[in-house]
Structure 1
C-alpha cells in the first residue's frame, strides 16, 4: 500500500499526555458558590494518574464501566481523562433522571464503580440497592460515612484513595476504535438508549470543536462549561479544551442565574456553552441586576432552538449567541450556525437563527415519508438523517428488531428532526417529528410559533403542543410563562402574532403556567404538557 506516514493511536491517553505537558499552566476552575478552587493541567495529569492507580486497585483492569454521578468540576474532569486513558469506559450518569431510569442505565451499562459528588449522595443512596453490578462507590468532596452501602458494595473516600498513589501511570496503548465513554439518551420514549463513543470519535469530534467555523475553542479561551458533563459529554468541550489548552471554568452545582452572574464577573470567561433556558434565566436576572459580561463574547447554544429574541437581547449585551445542533448520537456536534462571509448584519442574523452548516465530518440528507431523498432548496421539508465518524451506528445492546434499532439503516442515523436544508448546507429545523402539528392537512411548526410568542416582551417562556380539534384534527395550544411583573392576555398575544405567522396558524388555545416542564437536560418536556392538557389539568382559554 502506497504511503509514507507514521501510524499512531488517537487515544485519550495521548490526549492527556499532550494537554498535561504542552498546556501545563492552563487552569481548571471550580466554582464554590463564594469563590473558586483552582488546578492546572499539570495537576490534571498527575491526579488522573493517581485515580487510574486507585481504580486498578478497585478491580478496573479492562473495559469495565466507571460511572460518574457528578456536577461539572475538577474531579469529574480528572475522571473524564483517567478512566478511558487506562482502557476503562467512562459512563456519565444524568443526575436528573427518574430513579427507575437511573437504575436501568447503571445495570444496562454494567457499571463496576460509581464516583459521586458529596452533595449528590442522598440521591444516589435511594437507588444504590437496585444496582446489580456496582461493587464500589467513591465519594468525592464529601463524607463517605454518609452513604450506607448495601451488601457487596464498598464505599471509599476519593481523597483517601488518591492520597498515596503515584502521580505517574504507564498508560496502555489503547486501540483508537475501542470504547472510551458512553452516555445514555434522556429516554423521552421507552428506556434510555446507550451511545458508546470511541477514542477515535472523541479525537475527531474534539478537533471539529476547535475549528474556526465551529465553536472556535482556542488556547486563549476561558470556557465556561455550563452544559452538564452528563449531557452528551458536555458537547465535547472538556476534551477539546485539553487538546488546545483552553482553561475551563466549571460551575459545579451553582447553575442558577445569580451564582452564574457572580462566576462570570469573578472568572471572566471568554466563551460559554449552555441550553437556551440557562440564558433565558440569566437574561431575566441581568435585566434587574445589570453587569458588564466582558470578556464573555460568545455563547454556544444547543439542545433546543434558541428564540431569535433571546439572541438579539444578548447581542445588545455584547455576547454573540452561536446556534448549534446535535444529539447524544452525534457526539453531539452536528452543525454550527456560522454565517457565510461577506454579508451585512441583518443577512448574517438570518443565518444565525438556523441550526447551522454541516462540517466536513457530517454527511446529511433529508428524506420524505417514503424514504425518498429531498433536495437542498430550503423549501422541501423532511426528516434529517446523518452519518459520519462521530455519529453512532447503533445503540449499545440493542439488537435488530428491538425498540430503538429502527433509528439506524443503511449507514444513516434517523434523527427524528424535521426541517429543510439551504443550497449552501445550512440546516433549518422546523420541529421534532413527534412535535410537529398537523392542522387541516397542513404542517405547523411548534418551534416557529414558540419563537414568535417569545419575542413578546411580556413572555419569559412559551411552549407549543398540538391538541385534538374536531374540525382541523389538531390545533396549537400555547403554554406561556410571563416575565416577572409582566402581564398579557391571550387576545394581546394573538394580536402580536398576527403579522408574524400565517393567519391559519394563529393559535386560539392559550394557557398560562408558572413554569414550562423540562426534561433532565433542560429541554421543554412536551409529553408532560400533552398529558396535562389531555387530563384537564390546564386552564385553557379558547379564542374564536
Structure 2
C-alpha cells in the first residue's frame, strides 16, 4: 500500500522561489572583483536568474546540456547556479586553480556548451580556448568592455538578462534530473566527474540546516569562504535560501585583512572554509587584537584542523569551531562535530580529543569501518579500518563511467582510514595511501602533522613515509617555519614526547619555504613523495 500524499518534485528552483517569497528583502552582499560592495536580495536573485534562464533557452540550451562556470563567489555566480539548473541544464563549476591542461581535459570530457567566466580570468580562458572542442560561446559575467567586438565567440552577460519574464515560471521536471557537475581534484590520476541531481541537492540542503549540522538561522549572516567551485561551496548557496539568512560573497580577495574587514562590516556570524584560509584571518585578528565583532562560529573542513587553531579561535577570541568532513562524492557534508550534552561538563583538555575528531554522521549518511577483508569493525574508538559511506546524496557512478563506484554490497569506499567511537564520533587517521606502515604498526600522518603545527616554530607541516630497510617505512616531517628559528629533530621530538607514541616520532625533519598545495587547498603529498623518493633515513 502506498501513501496518499502529493508527489511534488524536489527542484533547485524551489529553493530560490521559496526565498524570494518569504525572505525577499534579505540581503545578498557581494564584494565585486573591482573591490566595491554590491547589494542584492533574494527577490532580485530570483528575477535575474529567471531572466538568465530565458536567455539560455533562446541560445538553444536544452535539458541536460552542460554549462561551465569559471568564477569566484559572487551574486553573478549565484545567478548561474539557479538560472542554469532551473531549466534542467547542468551547472558545471570549474576549479580556477587548476592548470590549463587540467581545465582543457575537464571541459572537453564534460562537453560543456557555454563557458561563463569572471573577466579577471580572461587570460586563462584565452589560453585554453583553442583546445576546447564543444564550447560554442564564452560569456564574461563581470564588468568588461566590448568583448563582442573583439571576438564573435564572446557574448555580453547583461544582454542575456534583457528578456521579459512576465509569463515565465520555473519549469517542473523529474527531480532525478542532473543539476550540477563537479570534478574531483585528480591528485592520483585524471579528475572524475560527480553528477548531482536536483533531489540529492535539495535533500542535502535541508539536512545541512538541521540543528546538529550547520544550524542556520534567519538571523545569521553567512560567509562561504570555501569557493563555489569546491563542491558547490559545500552546498551553502542552496541551504542559505531555506534558512533565510543573509549571505555575504567575498569575491576573490581572501587574505586575512580583506576577510576581516568584510566580516566586520557585514556582521558575519558564521563562516566556512579550509584551514589555510583561517591562518591568514587569525594572524590579522592578532594584529587587530579582536575578532570580527559578530563572528560566532567557523566551520572548518577540507583538511584536519589542529588543536592550536581551535585554541586560537576559541580561547583567544571566543569563536566556536566546528570540524566537518565530506567529499566531492558526498555533496559534500557527511559528518559535523558538535559536542553531545553529556560532554558539556568536561574540562577543556578532556573535550579537545573529541573536538579534534571529524564528527558524527548527520541524518542521511551511514558510516562503517571495515578491515582489509571487508569485515565490519567495532565502534570502539580504537579499531581502525577503511571508511565506507552510503546515503541519498552519495555517488553511485562517476560521470561517463559504466563501472559502479560502489562496493558489491552498495557502500562507497572513501579511501580514508578511520575509527568510530561508541558515541558515533568518526576520526580520520589518514588517507589509505598516506598512512605510514612501520613495523606492523600504522602511523597516522594527519595526527603527527596536527601536533607538529602546535610547536611555536612551525607554520605548516606535512608527513610522508620514507623507505626503511628494517621498519618498511618511517616518518619524514616536512615543515614550513614561522620565522628564522629552525628547531632540531631532537627539539621537535621532545615537544612531541607527551603528545604521541614514541613509535610515531619522525626519524628526520626537513625545513622548506613552502609546501606543494593543490587546487583544493590541500598539501599534494604525491608531489612530496616524488621530491623525497631517494631520501635516506
1:392 and 2:395 are equivalent in the alignment: yes
3-state SS of 2:368 partner: strand
Aligned length: 532
3-state SS of 1:511 partner: strand
Matched residue, 1:18: 18
3-state SS of 2:418 partner: strand
1:330 and 2:333 are equivalent in the alignment: no
Deviations 1:422-469 (A, max 9, x none): 112110110000000011121100011001101112211111111111
The offset of 1:490, in angstroms, is: 2.8
Matched residue, 2:373: 370
Contact 1:430–1:448 (CA under 8 A) maintained in structure 2:
yes
What pairs up with 1:144-223 in 2 under 5 angstroms?
145=146, 154-166=153-165, 169-223=168-222
Distance 1:384 1:160, change over 3 A: same
Unaligned runs of 5+ in 2: none
The offset of 1:142, in angstroms, is: 3.3
1:247 and 2:239 are equivalent in the alignment: no
Contact 2:188–2:526 (CA under 8 A) maintained in structure 1:
no
Q: Quote the Cα distance in structure 2 between the aligned partners of 1:168 and 1:296.
A: 42
Contact 1:125–1:147 (CA under 8 A) maintained in structure 2:
no
Q: Quote the Cα distance in structure 1 between the aligned partners of 2:294 and 2:304.
A: 25
Query: So what's the TM-score if we normalise by structure 1?
Result: 0.94
The offset of 1:98, in angstroms, is: 1.7
Q: Quote the Cα distance in structure 1 between the aligned partners of 2:336 and 2:396.
A: 22
The offset of 1:419, in angstroms, is: 0.9
Deviations 1:203-231 (A, max 9, x none): 11001110110011121111011001000
Q: Quote the Cα distance in structure 2 between the aligned partners of 1:168 and 1:409.
A: 49
3-state SS of 1:155 partner: coil
Q: Quote the Cα distance in structure 1 between the aligned partners of 2:493 and 2:145.
A: 55
Distance 1:406 1:391, change over 3 A: closer
Deviations 1:355-390 (A, max 9, x none): 110122011111111111111111111000000001
Matched residue, 2:45: 44
Matched residue, 1:83: 84
Matched residue, 2:230: 231
3-state SS of 2:240 partner: helix
Contact 1:51–1:82 (CA under 8 A) maintained in structure 2:
yes
3-state SS of 1:163 partner: coil
What pairs up with 1:90-169 in 2 under 5 angstroms?
90-143=91-144, 145=146, 154-166=153-165, 169=168
Contact 1:54–1:165 (CA under 8 A) maintained in structure 2:
no
3-state SS of 1:351 partner: helix
Deviations 1:465-508 (A, max 9, x none): 11111221111111111124654333321211112111121112
The offset of 1:34, in angstroms, is: 4.7
The offset of 1:7, in angstroms, is: 1.9
Matched residue, 2:361: 358
What pairs up with 1:246-395 in 2 under 5 angstroms?
246-315=245-314, 316-343=316-343, 344=345, 345-346=347-348, 347-395=350-398
The offset of 1:135, in angstroms, is: 0.7
Q: Quote the Cα distance in structure 1 between the aligned partners of 2:135 and 2:150.
A: 11
Deviations 1:268-324 (A, max 9, x none): 200010011111222223323433322111011111110111111100211111001
Matched residue, 1:422: 421
Matched residue, 2:495: 496
Q: Quote the Cα distance in structure 2 between the aligned partners of 1:74 and 1:168.
A: 24
3-state SS of 1:374 partner: coil
3-state SS of 1:342 partner: helix
3-state SS of 2:342 partner: coil
Contact 2:113–2:137 (CA under 8 A) maintained in structure 1:
yes
Q: Quote the Cα distance in structure 1 between the aligned partners of 2:459 and 2:185.
A: 25
Distance 1:51 1:408, change over 3 A: farther
Q: Quote the Cα distance in structure 1 between the aligned partners of 2:351 and 2:497.
A: 25
Matched residue, 1:62: 63
Q: Quote the Cα distance in structure 2 between the aligned partners of 1:230 and 1:424.
A: 33
Distance 1:166 1:5, change over 3 A: closer
Query: So what's the TM-score if we normalise by structure 2?
Result: 0.95
Report the more deviating stretch, 28-37 or 508-517. Answer: 28-37
Distance 1:535 1:248, change over 3 A: farther
Unaligned runs of 5+ in 1: none
The offset of 1:168, in angstroms, is: 6.3
Report the more deviating stretch, 242-251 or 405-414. Answer: 405-414
3-state SS of 1:197 partner: strand
Deviations 1:151-181 (A, max 9, x none): xx72111122213543763211121111111
Contact 2:118–2:141 (CA under 8 A) maintained in structure 1:
yes
Report the more deviating stretch, 348-357 or 203-212. Answer: 348-357
Contact 2:50–2:83 (CA under 8 A) maintained in structure 1:
yes
What RMSD over aligned residues (CA atoms) do the two structures have, in Å?
1.9
Report the more deviating stretch, 104-113 or 154-163. Answer: 154-163
Q: Quote the Cα distance in structure 2 between the aligned partners of 1:260 and 1:487.
A: 30
